């Protein structure tokens, strides 16, 4: 049989709020947002993307190739030549999806050469980055 107290006494006044758990939680949230915000930043170079009305988001992309305004080609943040790109795509051509981030003032010749290398390797999913 459970017995309950019949007479309860209420505390008078307000209890002080414990700040230690609150500070711990705020500190953990701060660390969480600092760590996860690092993954949101896109690696690379300042690229001004061309505008397109019909652009849409992609869910998965395997390889990102960046073409600067000067026509330089970068892969994983490192400058590469078209021969290097040919070798990289030879290794990665199985189920590859290419995402080309070209500056809007980049030479069309560089973009076409990258696209041509992808087609030569049999990669059909080649996308160009744009902004709405």
The whole-model pTM stands at 0.59
What's residue 19's pLDDT? 85
Mean pLDDT of the chain: 80
Higher pLDDT, 121 or 46: 121
Q: Name the E strands within 2-121.
A: 63-67, 73-75, 78-80, 97-102
Higher pLDDT, 40 or 21: 21
Q: How far apart are CA 71 and CA 79, in angstroms?
A: 11
What's residue 23's pLDDT? 92
Let me know if domain 63-128 sits in CATH 3.40.50.450: no
What's residue 52's pLDDT? 74
């Amino acid at each position: 049989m459970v017995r309950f107290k019949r007479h309860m006494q209420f505390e008078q006044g307000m209890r002080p709020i414990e700040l230690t758990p609150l500070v711990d939680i705020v500190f953990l949230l701060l660390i969480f947002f600092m760590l996860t915000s690092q993954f949101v930043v896109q690696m690379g170079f300042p690229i001004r993307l061309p505008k397109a009305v019909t652009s849409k988001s992609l869910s998965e992309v395997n390889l990102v190739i960046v073409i600067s305004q000067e026509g330089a080609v970068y892969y994983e943040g490192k400058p590469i030549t078209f021969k290097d790109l040919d070798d990289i795509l030879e290794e990665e051509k199985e189920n590859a999806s290419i995402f080309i981030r070209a500056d809007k003032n980049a030479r069309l010749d560089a973009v076409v050469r990258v696209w041509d290398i992808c087609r030569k390797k049999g990669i059909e999913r080649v996308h160009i980055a744009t902004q709405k």
